[in-house]
Amino acid sequence: MTIQKSTLFVLLLTIWFAGKLDAQQTPVWDDTNKSSWPPEMELVGIPSSADGAKQKAYVYRSKNKNSQPLIVSLHTWSGDYTQQDPLVSEILARGYNYIHPDFRGPNNTPSATGSKLVVADIDDAIRFAVKYTNADPQNVHVIGVSGGGMATLLAYMNVTYPVQSFSAWAPISDVEAFYWESIGRKQKYAGDVLRSVSSDSVFNAEEALRRSPLAQKFPIALRKGSRLFIYEGVHDGYTGSVPITHSINMYNRLVGELKYGSSSLPDIMERSRQDRDLVSEQETISLVTRRYNPAADPKEKINDRAIYLHRHYGDISLTLFEGGHEQLPNALSLVPIDGQAAGLNRNIFTLGDSNGQMPGGWVDQLRLLMPASDIFNISKSGNTIGFDNGGEKALNTLRNIDQYIGNAKENIGRNKYDYFIFCLGTNDAKAEFAGKQQEVIANFEKLIGRIKANQYLRRSKPRFVFVTPPPIGTKGIQEKYKGGNERLSVLIPKFTEIAQKHGFIVVDIYSPLQQAFQIYASDGVHMTAAGQKIIAQRILASILQLEQEPGSAH
């Protein structure tokens, strides 16, 4: 075949596919449905430092008085700044700062798809959000899935802002390879790439490579201290649009350059035969063909999914798990956001139910966030505000509060408690107490009164904090909890009013967790440790605000 005929063949093939592929079904993680953005999210315009164009973005400014992390969430291949973002509900629950920028919209034009304008827009968005919100400038994190995963890798390779972490889920790393893979899979993305990199309907491989994170210069000095996490479901490429080779090759290329000073993938793959920090060609072929790893440790999990391969070197890691082309629901909990009160030394008395008692519960999470503090915990599974739950007097806090405080006093000796924190009410909302909700409110007022009247606490003068009970699920829950969430929705405003009247600080976790709760509570009542950390973070945020008030020195 002559060169002219070969070029004509490719031209005809790409034109035919460009017309045919747009009709292909859009994968779940490239759904361009626009979100009904909550009122807390603000629409802004950011002037481009590259060409002056105004980039639109949705921004959330944390309501916390203390600086909070900034999450930079990048839209997928076909999306833009309006695209529905599953992270939004959890952003509001955690109280983090957030920006969802446009960076030239869908990847089907020359100005998009890994262009220099895209990189400039992402950098501009980060710098804007750091100034516009109450972001901790040292606590900025970029995350994206699919085309957003590619944008995350582009940011890692190019942005100049010192981002703390990058989380790329199911990313595209090689635009040229993705073009031919999309041709073979009969997906619309081939036409998108063609329109992005070519001006004459002939595929421009060189331009595609220039826009590929895999082929770009690795700014090693700039990324010192920044962490990169690459996540990929092992079935992607079969049930999704991006083969796992994109993730493996990107990881190998970066680690190879760090270890051997080479950016040549063939050279790195040759070294991978002997270097276990890299992923070998044999391992890659096995994972691509089997989509399983019989040698994997069954105890290694990510969000209850099996991990088939995990490698890390320095600040770069790769995780291949049982899944497809997706970002796992708990993705935000995997972002490495450090504790904010490591040096705060306080004496804290906590009182709760099973969510406070269980290993990894909110009390344990608070201990991790405040390692220098001494936390005395009296939490019991089944604890109520004022009922003998299951006939057990020991589970009636109102009956036992004086004893609890006496135990706390004995524990601390001559010292005093700085904070008294309690979180109760879940068990009082059970179906068996459905007809006694007015009694629940009366019991709560009695309990608050007993706490404030206690002589020891009056002398100690701790800060009093009431944490609302978390939501109760509405699907797949035990019969005894059915209707509980509705009952809590009535109880919590009453609890809040009573607590505030008696001088308690109220930390509302019920309202912000409504949308994100089910992600972390499969049984509808008890969240995993990652979910419990959200409660602890909100408690800590309130403590830090109290610490800044005049006369708060201890």
pLDDT digits (tens, 9 = 90+) for 321-343: 999 999 999 999 999 987 667 68
How sure is the predictor about 36, in pLDDT bands with cuts at 50, 70 and 90? confident
Q: How many other CB atoms sit within 10 Å of the CB of residue 508?
A: 15
Does 13 score more than 90 pLDDT? no
- Whether 554 is in a domain gets the answer no
Does 220 score more than 80 pLDDT? yes
Six-digit token pair at 186?
A: 């009969």
Residue 134 shares a structural domain with residue 224:
yes
Of 283-297, 367-381, 539-553, the poorest mean pLDDT is in 539-553
**CATH code for position 272:** 3.40.50.1820
Q: What values do phi and psi take at 145, rounded to 5? A: -125, 145
pTM: 0.90
pLDDT digits (tens, 9 = 90+) for 164-217: 999 999 999 999 999 999 999 999 999 999 999 998 889 999 999 999 999 999
Torsion of CA 481, 465, 355, 497, to 10 degrees: 10
- Whether 552 is in a domain gets the answer no
Q: Is 550 helix (H, G, I), strand (E, B) or coil?
A: coil
- Predicted pLDDT of residue 9: 37
Q: Which residue in 193, 277, 167, 280 sits closest to 14, CA to CA?
A: 193
Mean pLDDT score, 59-64: 94
Q: What is the radius of gyration, based on Cα positions, of the chain?
A: 27
Q: Is 485 helix (H, G, I), strand (E, B) or coil?
A: helix
Residue 169 shares a structural domain with residue 283:
yes
- Predicted pLDDT of residue 261: 96
How far is Cα 523 from Cα 422, in angstroms, rounded to an integer?
23
Residue 377 shares a structural domain with residue 309:
no
How far is Cα 107 from Cα 118, in angstroms, rounded to an integer?
10
pLDDT digits (tens, 9 = 90+) for 72-114: 999 999 999 999 999 999 999 999 999 999 999 999 999 999 9
Residue 540 and residue 505 in contact, taking contact as beta carbons nearer than 8 Å: no
pLDDT digits (tens, 9 = 90+) for 118-153: 999 999 999 999 999 999 999 999 999 999 999 999
How far is Cα 279 from Cα 274, in angstroms, rounded to an integer?
10
- Whether 342 is in a domain gets the answer no
Residue 389 shares a structural domain with residue 265:
no
- Predicted pLDDT of residue 436: 97
Residue 415 shares a structural domain with residue 323:
no
**Structural domain span for residue 453:** 347-547
- Whether 553 is in a domain gets the answer no
**β 463-467/419-423 pair status:** parallel
pLDDT digits (tens, 9 = 90+) for 270-293: 999 999 999 999 999 999 999 999
Q: How many domains does the chain have?
A: 2
- Predicted pLDDT of residue 69: 95
Residue 253 shares a structural domain with residue 380:
no
**CATH code for position 509:** 3.40.50.1110
Q: Is 464 helix (H, G, I), strand (E, B) or coil?
A: strand
How would you label 193-210 residue by residue, b for 16+ Cβ within 10 Å and e otherwise? bbbbbbeeeebbeebbbb
Residue 293 and residue 309 in contact, taking contact as beta carbons nearer than 8 Å: yes
Last residue of a domain, one of 334, 363, 385: 334
- Predicted pLDDT of residue 24: 40
Residue 299 shares a structural domain with residue 406:
no
Mean pLDDT score, 221-236: 97
Last residue of a domain, one of 300, 334, 368: 334
- Predicted pLDDT of residue 2: 36
Residue 176 and residue 206 in contact, taking contact as beta carbons nearer than 8 Å: no
What are residue 140's DSSP bridge partners? 70
Residue 200 shares a structural domain with residue 306:
yes
Residue 147 shares a structural domain with residue 256:
yes
- Whether 415 is in a domain gets the answer yes
- Whether 319 is in a domain gets the answer yes
Residue 320 shares a structural domain with residue 372:
no
Residue 278 shares a structural domain with residue 198:
yes
- Whether 341 is in a domain gets the answer no
Q: How many other CB atoms sit within 10 Å of the CB of residue 111?
A: 16
Last residue of a domain, one of 279, 302, 334: 334
Residue 499 shares a structural domain with residue 380:
yes
- Whether 107 is in a domain gets the answer yes
| 52 burial type by CB count under 10 A (0-12 exposed, 13-18 middle, 19+ buried) | exposed
Does 508 score more than 70 pLDDT? yes
Q: Is 25 helix (H, G, I), strand (E, B) or coil?
A: coil
Residue 350 and residue 366 in contact, taking contact as beta carbons nearer than 8 Å: yes
